[in-house]
Amino acid sequence: MSEKAANSEEVFSFKCPACKEGMINIKKAIYDLPDGDKMLILKFECNSCNFYKNDIIPLTTNMKSGIMTLKISEENDLKSKIYRSPTGKLEIPELELIVEPGPRADFYYTNVQGILFRFENAVSIYRNNLEENDPDIGEIDNLLFNLQQAIEGNLKFTLKITDFQGGSYIIPEDKSKYSFKKIEKEQ
């Protein structure tokens, strides 16, 4: 067990929502991030089926509302960590990809590459549901090609999170490519 997860402990259990037979074990661990912030990670695991879920709750992140912008220009930038809270809007303007904020949106704690994989997965599902003669297919295939290029570190792009409530953040691999612009909270 790693040093960082040493404070992991089991808290309590409930019945599995997926198989309705197994019990869900919940484990919590507090992780120290490189910039001094702390995250609480809850792991839900069924002891009978494959049900598995992680929830991540930021404990000490600054709650400043603002626009976070990260320029990705090389493969190393793809490792930058991203946390998008449900109030955060995430965009890649060059590819016209957007995750709108919403109470039901998943918490995202991943890196830039993880975000690209999620977009690729969503676009692929959309592509597979189109008729073969659909006029949008060329454009969608082009988007999938660009996503693949981005995943491999061959495409320069911008990742932007707009969060009026605060709570989202980016931990850049290269701080010179990151910028934060404060915005006043919406009334």
- Residue 39, beta-bridge partner list: 31, 58
SS3 179: strand
Q: Between residues 19 and 137, which has the closer beta carbon with respect to Zn ion? A: 19
- Alpha-carbon dihedral angle through residues 124, 129, 130, 131, given to the nearest 10 degrees: 140
Nearest-approach distance from CB 16 to Zn ion, in angstroms = 3
Q: Between residues 44 and 117, which has the closer beta carbon with respect to Zn ion? A: 44
Q: Between residues 14 and 126, which has the closer beta carbon with respect to Zn ion? A: 14
Positions that interact with Zn ion (CB under 5 A)? 16, 18-19, 22, 46, 48-49, 51
Q: Between residues 25 and 111, which has the closer beta carbon with respect to Zn ion? A: 25
CA gap 157, 84 in Å, rounded: 18
Amino acid at 59: L
Nearest-approach distance from CB 10 to Zn ion, in angstroms = 17
Q: Between residues 51 and 117, which has the closer beta carbon with respect to Zn ion? A: 51
Nearest-approach distance from CB 47 to Zn ion, in angstroms = 8
Cβ atoms < 10 Å from Cβ of 16: 19
Nearest-approach distance from CB 42 to Zn ion, in angstroms = 17
Mention every residue, 6+ apart, whose C-beta is less than 8 A from residue 47: 22, 23, 24, 25
CA gap 131, 137 in Å, rounded: 9
Nearest-approach distance from CB 106 to Zn ion, in angstroms = 20
